[in-house]
Amino acid sequence: MLQPDTRYKADAEALLALIPATSLATAFFDPQYRGVLDKLVYGNEGERQRERALLPQMDEAQIGRIMHEIGRVLRPSGHLFLWLDKFHLCEGIGTWVTTSGLETVDLITWDKGRIGMGYRTRRRAEYLLVLQKPPKRAKGVWTRHNIPDVWEEKAQRGGTHTHGKPYGLVASLIESTVPVGEFVLDPAAGSFVVREAALAQGRHFLGGDLVYGDAALPESGLALPETAAAVETAKGHKK
Ligand SMILES: C[S@@+](CC[C@H](N)C(=O)[O-])C[C@H]1O[C@@H](n2cnc3c(N)ncnc32)[C@H](O)[C@@H]1O
């Protein structure tokens, strides 16, 4: 059976297939897309870019299927936090969301506190698109109201993953949207920062990574207990 808090070494779609429909309050997804590397061919990609290009890449259709599955496992009014770079923010992600049933409700800019590459301006930010499964609402499913939409936090230098995301922001969003004792999903977890933040706050983690996980997927899925919060959410949905 799928075990909570385990670092699965698994394909995102195989893992998602083991999770029941409408069972989770929150998911994070940070796709390994080729977008930027394809469009901006740097003469000298540098060590971090070489490291990045070696990771398995997800194509548009695969990202769309993963988004569709995330839409399936989220419960009504559940949130997806989707990491985007400037290229995807500007060019759009229409094909990723088409069949997911998710709708955009907010955007957070992560100010990394130091500049990176760029032909014209040099990048200092990444973006976190906040999507929600209908019905769209904040009451009862977003409990912290002091999270700014520009979040300053230093990127971890020499962290365990070339794309490591900010622990403090991830932890705040989990605290705001995942009731204590419930699960947060990250099917392409990289450094497993979502797991670390979830466990530190008494929440549970479901997720894995094709490269960085270390446990094999079981054959059977997860039997999720019906939590008080899930029942409350379902009641709210019927109103
Ligand atoms: C952008 S990184 C995630 C970084 C992560 N958010 C963090 O904070 O460390 C994307 C990850 O997706 C993984 N990956 C690529 N294809 C995958 C697949 N089909 N299933 C699961 N993980 C995959 C890569 O190994 C990489 O670690």
pLDDT in tens, 92-140: 998 899 889 999 999 999 999 999 999 999 999 999 999 999 999 999 9
With a 6 A CB cut-off, is 11 part of the ligand 1 pocket? yes
Q: Is 133 helix (H, G, I), strand (E, B) or coil?
A: coil
Could you give the strand order of the β-sheet that contains 24-29, starting from the edge strand earlier in sequence? Answer: 150-152, 103-111, 125-132, 74-84, 24-29, 183-186, 204-207
User: Angle 167-177/193-200 helices, nearest 10 degrees?
Assistant: 50
Task: State how beta strands 125-132 and 74-84 pair.
Answer: antiparallel
Residue corresponding to tokens 């039997």: 223
Phi-psi category of residue 63: left, alpha or beta, with phi > 0 → left and psi -120 to 50 → alpha: alpha
Lowest mean pLDDT across 9-23, 35-49, 135-149, 172-186: 35-49
**Cβ–Cβ under 8 Å, residues 62 and 8:** no
The answer for residues whose C-beta is within 8 angstroms of residue 129's C-beta and 6 or more apart is 81, 82, 83, 84, 89, 93, 104, 106, 107
pLDDT band for position 158 (cuts 50, 70, 90): low
- The closest alpha carbon to 124, from 135, 111, 141, belongs to 111
CA angle 84-121-188, nearest 5°? Answer: 20
Domains of the chain, with CATH numbers? 12-238 (3.40.50.150)
pLDDT at 221: 74
* CA of 163, closest atom in ligand 1: 4
pLDDT confidence of residue 237: 39
What burial letters (b/e) apply to 18-36, b meaning 16+ CB within 10 Å? bbeebbbbbbbbbbbbebb
Burial of 70 (0-12, 13-18, 19+ CB in 10 A): buried
Contact between residue 98 and residue 118 where contact means Cβ atoms under 8 Å apart: no
* Residue 56 predicted with pLDDT over 90: no
The ligand 1 atom at the shortest distance from the C-alpha of residue 211 is 25
Give the whole-angstrom CA distance, residue 205 versus residue 5: 5
Mutate to test the pocket of ligand 1, among 7, 60, 62, 163 (most ligand atoms within 8 A of CB): 163
Q: From the CB of 72, is ligand 1 less than 6 Å away? A: no
Kindly report the average pLDDT of the chain as a whole number.
87
How many Å apart are CA 208 and CA 12, to the nearest integer?
Answer: 7
Ligand 1 neighbour 56 (Cβ under 6 A): yes
Q: Is the CB of 165 under 6 A from ligand 1?
A: yes
Stretch 179-190: mean pLDDT: 97
- What pTM, to 2 d.p., does this model score? 0.89
Least Cα distance to 116 among 165, 58, 49, 193 occurs for 49
